């Protein structure tokens, strides 16, 4: 068994600190609506989805974001919720790829939850996509939305959380 020299220790410690810094930098980029990838910050696209008045309580509005291979759902909850946008602060959106193995979750309007048909994980869109029960160990990624009062439009502008099966949200 080889011994760790002082030089090796300092080199490895420095590497650890650098990796930690890169991770924090990545988070900062995500907060600024971009993904840091290989030293380049890739911007999230801004995609106008629908007029807020067209989204009804209990009727999920499907869309894809940030690319066609990433299904998502826009929901009107009916009362203000954390992270909700729009005139009533009740519009939220999430990736519908289950964080366990990527099956597509569906909205159960009666239970007001997103349910996975594969291994029965349940997520709460009224609490930021929090996992309620099941095999998944991560919350559903939240799609960051912006509301434009001038034309009542809702746009997707970023993803909060890593999409299932990806190393980066922007491919």
Q: How far is the C-alpha of 27 from the C-alpha of 15, rounded, in Å? A: 19
Q: Is 100 a catalytic residue?
A: yes
Q: How far is the C-alpha of 47 from the C-alpha of 159, rounded, in Å? A: 12
Q: How far is the C-alpha of 106 from the C-alpha of 117, rounded, in Å? A: 8
Q: Which is nearer to ligand FES, 118 or 132 (CB)?
A: 118
Min dist. Cβ of residue 120 to ligand FES (A)? 6
Residues 96-125 contacting ligand FES, CB under 6 A: 98, 100-101, 103, 116, 118-119, 121
Q: How far is the C-alpha of 34 from the C-alpha of 44, rounded, in Å? A: 5
Q: How far is the C-alpha of 44 from the C-alpha of 61, rounded, in Å? A: 21
**Exposed, middle or buried by CB within 10 Å (0-12, 13-18, 19+), for 65?**
buried
Q: Is 81 in the site for ligand FES (CB under 6 A)?
A: no
Q: How far is the C-alpha of 120 from the C-alpha of 161, rounded, in Å? A: 21
Q: Which is nearer to ligand FES, 11 or 69 (CB)?
A: 69
Of 55, 92, 136, 143, the residue at the interface with ligand FES (CB under 6 A) is 136
Min dist. Cβ of residue 105 to ligand FES (A)? 7
Min dist. Cβ of residue 91 to ligand FES (A)? 24
Q: Is 157 in the site for ligand FES (CB under 6 A)?
A: no
Min dist. Cβ of residue 52 to ligand FES (A)? 30
**The dihedral sign for the CA sequence 115, 136, 96, 86:** positive
Q: Is 73 in the site for ligand FES (CB under 6 A)?
A: no
Catalytic residues: 100, 119
Which spans of this chain sit near ligand FES (rule: CB under 6 A)?
A: 98, 100-101, 103, 116, 118-119, 121, 134-136
């Amino acid at each position: 068994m080889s011994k760790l020299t002082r030089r090796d220790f300092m080199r490895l410690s420095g590497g650890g600190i650098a990796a930690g810094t890169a991770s924090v930098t990545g988070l900062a980029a995500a907060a600024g609506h971009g993904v840091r990838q290989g030293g380049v910050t890739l911007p999230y696209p801004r995609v106008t989805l629908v007029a807020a008045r067209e989204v009804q309580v209990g009727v999920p509005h499907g869309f894809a974001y940030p690319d066609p291979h990433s299904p998502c759902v826009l929901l009107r909850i009916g009362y203000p919720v954390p992270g909700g946008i729009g005139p009533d602060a009740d519009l939220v959106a999430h990736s519908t790829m289950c964080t366990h193995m990527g099956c597509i979750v569906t909205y159960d309007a009666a239970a007001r939850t997103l349910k996975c048909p594969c291994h029965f994980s349940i997520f709460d869109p009224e609490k930021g996509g929090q996992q309620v029960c099941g095999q998944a160990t991560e919350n559903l990624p939240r799609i960051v939305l912006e509301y434009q009062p001038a034309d009542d439009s809702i746009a997707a502008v970023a993803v909060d959380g890593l999409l299932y099966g990806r190393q980066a949200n922007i491919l």
